[in-house]
Amino acid sequence: MMDPTRVSGVALAAAIKDGQVSARDAVEAHIDQLKRGRSLGGVAKPRFDAARAEADAVDARIASAEPGELPPLLGVPITVKELIAVAGMPQAGGFYHRREFRAEADAPIVARIKEAGAIILAVTNSAGPLFWVETHNPLYGIARNPYDPRRTAGGSSGGDGVAVSIGGASFALGSDLGGSLRIPAMFNGVFAHLPTAGLVPNTGHFPMTAGIRDALQLGPIAHHAEDLYAALKAISGVHESHPGMSDIQLGDPDDVSITGLDVFVAVNSSAVASTPDIEQARLRAAEKLESAGANVSELELPRMRRAMGFAAATIGGEMDFAATLTEIVGLPALRDRKLVHLLASAPIAVLNLAESAPARRVRTNGARRLISAAHREADYIAETIGDGVVLYPPFPRVAPKHFSTYLRPLALANTTVFNFLGLPATQVPLGLNGDGLPVGVQVVGAPGNDHICLRVAREIGVWEPPTL
């Protein structure tokens, strides 16, 4: 008998429509997994009763509808990062002064995923108010790695990583400004995708990074690669709330052949060297692709070692610090609140923004040169790989112990760089190392070639669920 928590969302939707499993049973199975993993801290706020009612409505709809009339992800249980607006649910970002806030309307991607038929089980824990790659939230607690609870689940989409890894959601929607989708995906042994800049609207997210909003991408985390495409197909496309989006058409991974595909293994490219288990996993992925008919070669990318310089220069030169701080701290909303609410939140927000303070010596010749260098590097990579992909190291080591990533910004360089270069990148799980911890690789493509990254992910990726 099929276990709804172990198959892809695409397969589960087909089974629900065919009557092999009810939407209610699928929802209950995923809720049970979330409850079993309660101590891991993945869930910020559940909406289990609402999800059950929605599942019953799905079953009634299927009973009276023609199969062709049904949306593609009907009945599929998912979660959404708490920073993304889900109507009626909290969107606090870890800030005490927002603890009673409830979103009035769905973010565009949430409205779209609902229209595709998915059922939201919960909003998930996220890093905040210090937005980093550790999910340690003063309102919801700490997210723990399901393979070893002494280790971090990553961040800022750590709760999504946990929920998907343990089979508590077929897939999840999160956000990424420097690895916040891809790092939790790697640490939790699942897939994630950073979309091409402009493919997915990012409105409805808190906070919004004023001035560098296009470096913030919203996208999916999934335990099966095919669900990345299904989710992206549902949530992508121009939206009036996000000005300046590109009318990028998402290609179909089924149209991509591994035979003859150019695959480049990046060398001499990282600010921080990867540990042997990470590097060996990347080489195994290259060998697997070569065996499937890909053309594999090395590609030197020495300028990528300046990744954090690219990011810092862009943030310092373009980010509107005043607008961002005002939104995070909520100054207009706090006029009639107790001063302690502001004082409890503001110092952490200021510290978070201060991480980029050296780069705030803005618009200097040095910063302009770095921004220009980033643009040139993005163009060079796109032109060099064409319709191929680069295998790039993700976080340079497996999930570390809790809190050991703080004050180590260079550890984020391998993921952050692609936000500021505007290139799509898929984080792909490659099994477990000798200590039973997930390893993985980033598959990077030229702008608009998200589907090629997703096809490669489907070829090489493997999810090995943790034992609860």
Active site residues: 81, 156, 180
- Classify 235 as helix, strand or coil: helix
- Tokens standing for 203? 């409105």
**Helix (H) or strand (E) run with residue 264 in it:** strand 262-267
Distance from C-alpha of 395 to C-alpha of 275, rounded to nearest angstrom:
10
- Tokens standing for 430? 């490659």
- Classify 387 as helix, strand or coil: coil
Given its phi and psi angles, is residue 257 left (phi above 0), alpha (psi -120 to 50 degrees) or beta? beta
* Strands 425-432, 191-194: pairing kind: antiparallel
- Tokens standing for 283? 């080489």
- Tokens standing for 2? 């099929």
Non-local CB neighbours of 438 within 8 Å, separated by 6+ positions: 147, 186, 187, 188, 189, 398, 399, 429, 430, 431, 432, 464
Distance from C-alpha of 55 to C-alpha of 75, rounded to nearest angstrom:
6
**Helix (H) or strand (E) run with residue 425 in it:** strand 425-432
**Helix (H) or strand (E) run with residue 289 in it:** helix 276-291
Label residue 211 exposed, middle or buried (CB < 10 Å: 0-12, 13-18, 19+). middle
Distance from C-alpha of 194 to C-alpha of 444, rounded to nearest angstrom:
9
DSSP type of residue 55 = H
Contacts 24+ apart (CB under 8 A), 135-139: 135/41, 135/159, 135/184, 136/402, 136/403, 137/44, 137/94, 138/94, 138/96, 139/44, 139/92, 139/94, 139/95, 139/96, 139/99
b/e per residue, 63-89, with b = 16+ CB within 10 A?
eeeeeeebbbbbbbbbbbbbbbbbeeb
Distance from C-alpha of 7 to C-alpha of 21, rounded to nearest angstrom:
12
